[in-house]
Amino acid sequence: MSVHDDLLAEIVELVKSHTGVSTVTANTRLYSDLGMTGDDADAFMKAFAVKYGPDLGGLNWQRYFDHEPGTSDMLEPALVLAASMLRPSFAVRWHAARNAKRDITVAHLADVARAKVWRDPDESFRRDPKSQPLTLIFSVISLVTMAFFVLLGGVVIYAFLAGELGNQTPLVLVGIVAMGLLPIYFAVVSWRQIQTKLDLAPRD
């Protein structure tokens, strides 16, 4: 077995130990095949860097992994849909950003370990943006739900100012208003994440 084969075998074992997956080959993709993202991807790449010492300063995290999933992710499809309808240029940039996504294979990690510096995979490693038939439905549902809670909060505030809520305790009022404001907070967080992803789109 050559030195290159030994290195590849070591990285295969490293991937197995971090994912618990028994079948890993040189062509196994960290994101698309193993679902590696968020904190798991961060922990693995740190372990890889410690063991092999490559300079990963050139690695654009958003291109290869996603952030840790959270509640704000539920609103992303709705916000993307709304922004695409209002601004066609946004839809173009979003599509370009998705096409900029790449997959990292175990074999590519071996190349990086040998080179001691991060190198981006070429076009052949473009991540397949699989179509999701339920995305549109989910987008509409999440958008309607967000609008409902925002409207509910507005109605409660109006009723309170108009003195139509009677003797409701302040705690109840705060709770109802918070329900209306919470989706706005999640929408702001989600929009910031969308803007980060848009940075992957090539600049004109």
* Residue 29 three-state SS: strand
* Spatial contact of 114 and 53, defined as CB atoms under 8 Å apart: no
pTM score of the predicted model: 0.71
Other CB atoms within 10 A of residue 62 CB: 16
Quick: pLDDT tens for 77-113. Answer: 778 888 888 999 999 998 888 888 899 999 999 999 9
Is pLDDT above 90 for 47?
Answer: yes
In this prediction, residue 136 carries a pLDDT of 62
Cα–Cα dist 18/40, whole Å = 8
- Cβ partners under 8 Å of residue 154, min gap 6: 180
Per the model's pLDDT, the better-predicted residue between 3 and 202 turns out to be 202
Nearest C-alpha neighbor of 7 from the set 115, 103, 120, 125: 115
Amino acid letter, 166: G
pLDDT category, 3, cuts 50, 70, 90? low
* Of 15 and 194, the one with more pLDDT: 15
What span, in angstroms and rounded, lies between the C-alpha atoms of 47 and 157? Answer: 51
| H or E element at residue 161 | helix 135-161
Q: What is the mean pLDDT of residues 116-125?
A: 89
